[in-house]
A and B are shown apart, each in its own frame.
Chain A
C-alpha cells in the first residue's frame, strides 16, 4: 500500500514539477518573446550586437518538460545521476536547436567592396569617350581586389544592367549604345537619366559589402535630378566617384532657341532671334518658315557660325491674326552629328487685326485713309459723326479712334468725354485730323478735345481776339430798291449766321454817304443784328470811297486775326482814291472782296479793288443768289485759320513708327489748320515750312493723343495719297499708338523642366490684393496646330485642357507632362463666380513654351559642377586616380549579420554524441554497490 502511495506520490510530484517547469517556460516565452515589442530581440555584449532574428522559434524549448516527464516512467537501466545527466544533455540539445532555429546572429564588420560602374552611352557622348569608358571599365575588372565585386550599368534614357559574357565571366561586359531587341537604336539614346541609373544601382549591392559607384558621364541630364539623388545615395551608404568625359564635343550645330517678341501685332515688322550653338566654327544655311511658307521678309540666310553661341536675326511680319508657328531649319551644315537639333519651332499668338474707328465729317471723302489702313491689315469702321458709339464699352472694341474734319457741333460733349476716358483710362490711341471743320475751324477751341490734344488751336497772344472781323458794306442806292436790297439784307443776315459767335461783324449801308446800321460787334447778337439790318432803307447815289473808308477806320481799331470787308454794289461810282485806300487796308491785313449785282457795273473798278484787296470779285446777275455768295465768302474768310498753300513737310521729332519712312520724299501738302505746339512733353514730329505743327503727339493717361493738322482726304493731302509711303505711314502710326490690351491679362509664367510643363499665374486685383477663388482653366494647344483649331479647340486632338489649381493667395498653378516635341501655345481663362452663381470671365493669360527636341541634343558641354558636387556630397571624388582608390574602404566598415545557427548545430551534434555516450556507457555506480534498502521494483535486465 505504501509502495502504491509512494508511486502515486512520485507520479504526482513528477507531474507537478513537469507542469511547473512547462508553466515557467511558457510564461518566460510569452513574457520575453511573444510580448516583445520588436519582431527580433537584440542585445549588446562587449560591443557586439547579438540578435535573434526569429525569436518565436525559441518556442521549441517548451518541449523540454517532455524529456523530464518521460524520465519519470523510465525503464532504462541507468544510474540516477547518469539519467539526470542524460536529461540535462537532452534538454541542452533541444535548447541548442532552439537557438539555432531562432537564428541567433551577431553583427560583424567587413571591408569588402562592391562597385557599380555607371556608364553614360547617350547620344551626346562621343564615340571616343565611350571607348575611354570601355578601357576604364576593363581596367577595373582586371584590377579589382579578389573579394571585391564589380557590376556595370549603361544608361541613356533608361539604365540597363550589363551582364558579363557567359563564356568569359571574368571579363567586363561590353559597353554598347542602347538598342532594342531588333538592334535598332531609335530614341533609346535620346536622353540622359543619371538619377534612374543610380536608383537601379541601389538594388545591385549585396549585403555585407561597402557600396561604391563610379559614374562616367558628361553630367548633362535630361530627366530627373541627379544632385538630389546623389544626396539620397549618401543615405544608402554609397560613395560616388565621378569621371567626366573629357573628349571634345563632336562637331555639332544646334538651334537652342527661337525668340519672338512677347507681343506681335498684325502687320508690324519685328525681329526673330535664333540662338544657334556650334561646337566649332562652321557654315550652314538657315531657313525660317512662317507657318508652312518661307518667311516673307527674310526666309533664307547663309550663316557663318563661330564656335559657341550665335545670335541670328530675321525680320518678319505677320499678316493674319491667330497662332503663327515659326520654324527654323538648318541645312547644309558643314559638320554636324545630330539632325534632331537642327530644327526649332516656336509659336506666337498674334491677336486679331486692330480695329480703327474712323469718324469722318464728310464720309464720302473718307476712302483714302480707310483704304490705306485696310491695306496695312487694320480693320476700319468708318462712321459719320452721328454714328459715334454711345458707351465706353462699345468704344472699347476699338484699338484706335480717328476723328477727322468734324465740326464740334457734330460731336456731343458726352462723346468727347468718352474719347478722353478711352484714351486716358483704357490706353486707347486717338488721332484728331484737320480739314475745313477741324481744329479752330470746327469750333474746337476751348473744348475737352483741345485739352487732350498736344496742340493749341490758337496762339496765346491772340487769345482774347476773335478770329474774324467782317465788315459788310452794302449799296442802298436807289437802284437797289426792292428785291435787290431785300436780298442784300438777307445776304448780310446769312453772313452773320455763318460767323461764329465770337467773330465781329458790322454792316455799313451806303448811298452817297455811309451809315453804320450795325456797329462792330460780336456775331452772337444775331437777333439784334438782324433787326438792325432790317432797318436799312434805300437811299440816293453811290459813293464807294467813303463807305470803304468807314469800314477801314472801323477795322483799324478792331482786333481780329482776320479782317475782311465785303463790298456789294450795283452801279458805278467815282474811283478816285480807292486804290490807295485799298492798298492801305491790305497793308493792315484787311482784305476786301467785291460783289457786283446786275449788268450795269464798273466791273473794272470792282475787280481792281478785289485784286488789290486780296479778295475775290463776284459778279451776280440774280439778286437771289446774293445770300449764297455771301455765305460762301464768309466761310472762306472764317476758315482763314486754314493755311491753304503748297508746302513741304519736315520731320523734327523722332518716333518708332517713322522708321523706314523718309519724310523728305513725301510730296507737299496743300493746306493745314494753323495751331501751336503745347509745351513738353508734347512732341512735335512733323512741321510745316512756317514751323507750325503738322503732326504732334503726347501721352494722355495710358494712351496716346495725336494731332494731324492737315486733312486725310483728297483736298489738302491730295498729293500724299499718291505717295508711296502713305499707307505705311498711317499703318505704322496706328500700330504704334493703338490700345495694347483688350482684356485684363494676368501674368503667366510657363517653363518646361524635365519634360514637365509648369504653369503659374499670379492674380492681383485692382487694389493689389490677391484675387482668390477664380476658376481657371488652361488650354495647351499643340504641337503643330493650325490656327483655326484655336477657336474650335475643344475637340481638336492636340488640345489639352487642365484646371489651374489655386495653391496660394492669388496664385494658380498646374503641372503636367509634355510628351510631345514641338511648340505649344498656352491660353488660360480665369472666371469668377458672380452673385447669381454664374461664372463670368474676368481675365485671360497667354503664354507659349517650346519643347523642340530631346534635350539630349541641346547641350554638348559637360556639367562639371554637378558631377563634382554629386561626388563630394557622397564623400567620393572626381577622377579617382586608380582602381584601388575606388576599392579602398577608406577606414569604412560595413556591418552585416553573421548568422550563428550552424554553430549551434555543431554544438548540438557534440551534445548529441555526449548524450549517447552517457546513455551507452555506465559512468556511475560501476561497482554496483547496493543502495540501502531493497528496491521496490527490480529493473528488468537488458
Chain B
C-alpha cells in the first residue's frame, strides 16, 4: 500500500489536528438545558436512572467519538489516494488494439460496433487489477496509441473515449508489430484485439508477425452481415478522345441473402442514372458507363436497399470520384513553319497554340510547353517544358551527334514510355538524323542501331524531350503515330495523363501532385477541416483515412493571383472491408487467440472512491444513531 495523493506525513498532521478537535468536542459537555420537574419523586427516579445508565451512556459517548474518528480516518485515507503496491507485484502489461477500420462502423450491434468495442474495453479498464498496466491503441491504416502504458484508469478511459472508426481498412500486421515493440521485455505481456475480425493476414513485407511469448486474446464484436457495398468506383478519360470518359462501378453483396439494390449516379449534384439491381448472395457486379461526356466534375454513387431498409454498414454505400477539368495547355511553337507540326497540334482542342518566329522568341506570356522546331535559341523564362525537334545547335541540354545520312529507323523502342503510348514506330523511315546523347539519368526512348534518336530528361526541374531528326525528312508525319507522339509528349509535360485515376484509396499514403515550388500545401478534408501537408518532389504526402472529396491548395497566393486549388476524391473501395461478417475466431502466426478471462468488471482500483462511499454510509448511520440517541 502506498499513497499517491497527499503524503502520509501531511495526512498524519491533519489527522492529529482534526482528531484533537474532535476529542475536545467530546470532552466539552453539552450544556444541559434546565428542565423544571414538577414532581420530586420523578426527579428521584431520574437520578436513580442516571446512576444506572451512567456507564452505558459513557459507552454511547465513546462509540460516538470512535465513529467520528473513523469518519475522519476514512476521509483522510481517501485524501491520501492509497494504492496497492504495484511495484512489489509484477502485473500484466496489456496492449489493447481496438479495430478502427470502416467495418467497425457497422450498426448490427447498437449503436455501432465501435461503440460496442469501446464499451467492452471500458469494462476491461475497470477490471484492471492494481499492478496491471494497459495501453489503448487504435488500429486502422496506421496504429495510433491513445494512451501511455499505464495503470491510470482515467487516462485509459480517456483513450477509449478517443477511439474513432475511420474509412480505411486496418493494418493488422503493423498494429501487432507496434504492440510487440511496446511489450518487448516487459513481464506478462498480453495483446487484446477488439475487432469484428475482418482483418488482413498478420504478415507484411518482413514476413509473418511472430508474437513469441506474448499472450494474444481476442474480443469479437458484431453479430451479422447484412451489407451491400460499392466496392469500386472510378472514372477514366479515353486515351484518344479525352472529352469522353468511362465510369466503373462495382456493387457487392457481402451477405448471405439476395438483395435488391437501388443504385444512383450523381454528377455535380444532379441525378444522372438510377438503376435497380438484384444481387445474389456474395455477388460482385461490375457496371460500366461508357462514353459519357459532359462537364460533370464531381461524381457520386449511392446505393440504397430496394425495400427501404438500411444495411448494417452505411459507410460503404457511397463512393466518390472526380473528373478533373481539362486544363488548356499553353503551347509555344518556335518554328519557321512546319505544316505537319501545326496540323498535328490542331487535333487537340485543349491546346492553346502560339506560333512564334524564331527571331521573335520568346513570345509574351508564360507557357506550359515550348516546341523548338529546328532551332535552339537560349531558353527564356516561362517557356515551360521543352520539346526539341531536330536540334542542331549547341544551345541544348544534351549533345547533338554527327549527321547520319543513311536510311535509319527506330530499331529499339521503349515500348513502356508514355511518349510512345498507342504508337507503332518500328516502321518509320528516316532519311537523315542526328544522334542525341543525353546525360546518365536521361532516358533513351527510341534509338536506331546507330544511336539514340529520341531522348527524355530533366534539367533543373525543366523537363525536355528531343527528337533527332526533321520529321519532314521521314515518313513519320504521315502516320497517326505523329500527332499521338506530340500529344503524348504534351500530356507528359503537363501531367494530364490517361494514367490519372479518379480517386485515391483510403488507408494508403497518398502522393498528391502539387506544385513543386511550394514547401507545403493546405488540404481541406471532406468534413471541412483544413490542415497543412508537406510536399516532397512535387507531391503532397498524406495518409488519408476518410472517404469523400478533398481540396488541396498550394502556395501562398500572390496578390491578385488565384490560389492553385485542385480537388480529388478518396474511397474505401475495399471488398474485404465491406465483408462485415464477424469472425468468431482470430488466428495469428498459427496460434488461435484466446478469450479475455481475467478482466471482469470488478473492484475499482481507486480506493478513495470506496472510502468516500464508506464515509457516506457511516455518516448516514451516525446521523440516525445520533438523532435517535443511540450514540451521543
| Contacts from A to B (Cβ < 8 Å) | 39, 53, 57, 60, 63, 66-67, 70-71, 73-77, 90, 93-94, 97, 100-101, 103, 157-161, 163, 191, 196, 199-200, 202-207, 223, 225, 227-232, 235, 261-262, 309, 311, 427, 653-656, 659, 680-681, 683, 698-699, 701-702, 736, 740, 747, 749, 754-756, 762, 764, 768-770, 772-773, 806-811, 817-819, 865-866, 869-870, 872-873, 897, 899, 901-902, 905-906, 908-909, 912-913, 916-917, 919-922, 925-926, 928, 938-942
Contacts and interface: CB of A to CB of B under 8 A. Distances in A.
Nearest to B622: A90
A304 to B, nearest CB: 18
B207 A819 contact: yes
B154 interface: yes
Contacts of A77: 30, 32-33
A819 B203 contact: yes
A653 B407 contact: yes
Contact of B184 (A160, A262, A808, A817): A160
A835 B608 CA distance: 77
Interface string B142-153: 111101111000
A225 B236 contact: no
A819 B205 CA distance: 5
Contacts of A225: 509, 541, 543
Nearest to A904: B612
A66 B181 contact: no
Contact of A873 (B14, B520, B608): B520
Given A203-B137, A807-B234, 14 more contacts: A66-B623, A77-B33, A97-B612, A97-B616, A101-B609, A160-B181, A223-B206, A235-B531, A740-B426, A770-B236, A872-B534, A917-B25, A925-B33, A939-B33
Interface stretch (B70-78, B344-352, B580-588): B70-78
Contacts of A872: 519-520, 534
Interface stretch (B304-312, B327-335, B559-567, B624-632): B624-632
B72 A909 contact: yes
A191 B440 contact: no
B422 A228 contact: no
Given A76-B629, A755-B205, A909-B18, A654 B429 contact: no
B415 interface: yes
Nearest to A74: B627
Contact of A228 (B184, B407, B541, B629): B541
B615 A97 contact: yes
A740 B410 CA distance: 14
A63 B543 contact: no
A916 B248 contact: no
Interface in B392-430: 406-407, 409, 411-412, 414-416, 422, 424, 426-427, 429
A921 B542 contact: no
Contacts of B519: 869, 872
A905 B627 contact: no
Nearest to B22: A916
A262 B439 CA distance: 21
B31 interface: yes
B246 A809 contact: yes
A579 to B, nearest CB: 52
A773 B286 contact: yes
Nearest to A683: B407
Nearest to A157: B206
Given A200-B182, A865-B536, A101 B613 contact: yes
Contacts of B534: 227, 230-231, 869-870, 872-873
A897 B22 CA distance: 35
Interface string B21-46: 11001101011111100000000001
B90 interface: no
Contacts of B612: 97, 100-101, 905
Interface in B519-572: 519-520, 531-536, 541-543
A819 B246 CA distance: 37
Interface in B464-497: 475
A643 to B, nearest CB: 26
5 contacts: A159-B181, A656-B449, A872-B534, A913-B21, A942-B30
Shortest Cβ-Cβ A-B pairs, 3 listed = A755-B205, A656-B449, A203-B145
Contacts of A231: 533-534, 541-543
B234 A809 contact: yes
B573 A199 contact: no
Contacts of B406: 653-654
A223 B22 CA distance: 68
B247 interface: yes
Contacts of A261: 412
A922 B626 CA distance: 15
DSSP class of A's interface residues: helix, strand, loop or mixed?
A: mixed
A73 B627 contact: yes
A159 B174 CA distance: 12
Contact of A769 (B150, B205, B290): B290
B33 A928 contact: yes
A941 B619 contact: no
Given A199-B143, A755-B204, A205 B509 contact: no
Contacts of A191: 206
A405 to B, nearest CB: 28
Given A76-B626, A159-B181, A902 B79 contact: yes
Given A227-B534, A653-B406, A926 B31 contact: yes
A702 B240 contact: no
A84 to B, nearest CB: 13
Nearest to B31: A922
Contact of B239 (A228, A680, A768, A926): A768
A436 B318 CA distance: 76
B615 to A, nearest CB: 6
B340 interface: no
B597 interface: no
A941 B135 CA distance: 63
Contacts of A768: 238-240, 422
Nearest to A755: B205
A427 B206 CA distance: 45
A809 B144 contact: no
B182 to A, nearest CB: 6
B619 A90 contact: yes
A749 B416 contact: yes
B331 to A, nearest CB: 23
A938 B35 contact: yes
A865 B519 CA distance: 11
A681, A754, A870, A921, most chain B CB atoms within 10 A: A681
Contacts of A938: 35
Contacts of B619: 90, 93-94
A747 B236 contact: no
B161 interface: yes
B502 interface: yes
A913 B424 CA distance: 99
Interface in B212-270: 232, 234-236, 238-240, 246-248, 250
Given A63-B616, A928-B33, A681 B204 contact: no
A223 B173 CA distance: 13
Contacts of B236: 770, 808-811
B248 to A, nearest CB: 5
Contacts of A100: 612
Nearest to A309: B440
A71 B608 CA distance: 29
Contacts of A939: 33, 35
Contacts of A73: 627-628
B627 A76 contact: yes
A261 B444 CA distance: 12
B205 A756 contact: yes
B628 A920 contact: no
B620 interface: yes
Nearest to B523: A231
A63, A203, A262, A818, most chain B CB atoms within 10 A: A203
Contacts of B411: 656, 736
Interface string B69-101: 001100110110100000000000000000000
